[in-house]
Structure 1
């Protein structure tokens, strides 16, 4: 067992799914249009608007067209990098203004601290952008947890249900798969990781359908040594 690295998902794993669906998504939907209209000339925002045009196959799409596409993608919960990146920019304002704090289960915060103190490297892999991940942990209800993590992965490394994504992560970690543990509530993500020999645990936080993977109701039940 003795894992040298643990990779954790966020939604349904360290944090309530409803924090994203009931707080973050509506906030982004409400504030994204004005944010883009205001900041569209900023290089970081302009680059994401160009990426949206490429996804749409419409090089001449207007800013309003891009905003309409983003709102459609939010409604459909699309895991698209430009959307996730722009959402992260909007959420940063919300966190900094104190409009909300990042939810994290107390058992997750406690065990992440414990594992890091044991010398285990901790990583995050979520469909949300790296910026959004860091904001959630920086402004979490348990304080700034960013120092616990050695790195973050998002959709830039690949989709979470694709085996190639986990191969790329292993390449980055430079560890054999049997020394890496992946935590998620989604069976299809765990399936992809397990096919490479990565150890897996499925979190059953909110009545998720159980799978063949080892299961835990909280982080205290996860054995790492």
Structure 2
């Protein structure tokens, strides 16, 4: 019996295009101004220190740090300081009403049904925990965050690493056979399965590369738990 469901976001509960065509450009367009205005904040300085360490460069100016971050955005790098800064910028956009979190119509239906059935729901995405909460907290279907019991991001480890899913299992306190992982990415599903989780691939559109080793569905309403 599945007692918990861990879900990806992009291509699973939400559109990849929303992230890449709306969220990423929004953060990039405001990145330099945000860094200049908040460079004195301790939290921002810690993140800039992390940027220097990852880039193996010291004493970066704000503009130089922005250059590195913009390059990471272009490369779609799954790096914690980038994701954290993007989340901070997106928060301002959601608060200003300039952004609205996209989810597929079947997402709130399935999440509410699973929650009502007593299953624990978790998110595991390369976007920061804050970014995850913003997407689910500002949808056309209302605030979905009360449905979730926890969130995991790149601080837990890479999404294609088996150890990441083992760590998640330890934190939620369930054996893998009782946990279902949902994603559109075959390599992520492979890692989750190797950690002992049940898996299911979402095939939302023709951009997704099918992973026949895993159960496949076109909608969350088709997921069998």
TM-score range, shorter chain: over 0.9
Show CA shifts across 1:68-114 (max 9, x none).
10000001100000000000000001111111210001111111011
Q: For 1:199-218, what aligned pairs fall within 5 Å after superposition?
A: 199-207=198-206, 208-211=208-211, 212-218=213-219
Q: Which is further off, 52-61 or 25-34?
A: 52-61
Tell me which residue corresponds to 1:167.
Answer: 166
How far the C-alpha of 1:159 sits from its partner, in A, is 0.4
Shift in Å, 1:43: 1.2
The equivalent of 1:30 in structure 2 is: 29
Matched, 1:44 2:51: no
What is the deviation of 1:115? 0.3
CA RMSD of aligned residues (A): 0.7
Residue-by-residue CA offset, 1:28-84 (whole Å, 9 max, x unaligned): 110111000100111111110111011122232222211110000001100000000
Distance in 1 between the 2:18 and 2:59 partners? 36
* SS in structure 1 of the partner of residue 155 of structure 2: coil
Report the 3-state secondary structure (helix = DSSP H, G, I; strand = E; otherwise coil) of the residue aligned with 2:156: coil
- Note if contact 2:3-2:179 (Cα within 8 Å) is conserved in structure 1: yes
Residue 69 of structure 2 corresponds to residue 67 of structure 1: no
Distance in 2 (alpha carbons) for counterparts of 1:87 and 1:128: 8
Give runs of ≥4 in structure 1 deviating > 6 Å.
none
- Give TM-score scaled by structure 1 length: 0.98
Distance 2:167 2:100 in 1: 31
Q: Verify: 1:8 aligned to 2:7, yes or no.
A: yes
| d(CA) in 1 for partners of 2:99, 2:92 | 10
TM-score norm. by structure 2 comes to 0.98
Deviations 1:142-176 (A, max 9, x none): 11001000000000000000001001101101101
Unaligned runs of 5+ in 2: none
- Give unmatched runs, 5+ long, in structure 1: none
Query: 1:156 aligns to what SS in structure 2?
Result: helix
The alignment of Structure 1 onto Structure 2 pairs a total of residues equal to: 223
Q: What SS is found at the alignment partner of 1:103? A: coil
Give me the whole-angstrom Cα distance separating, in 1, the residues matched to 2:71 and 2:223.
38
Write out aligned runs for 1:145-156 (5 A): 145-156=144-155
Tell me the residue number matched to 1:89: 88
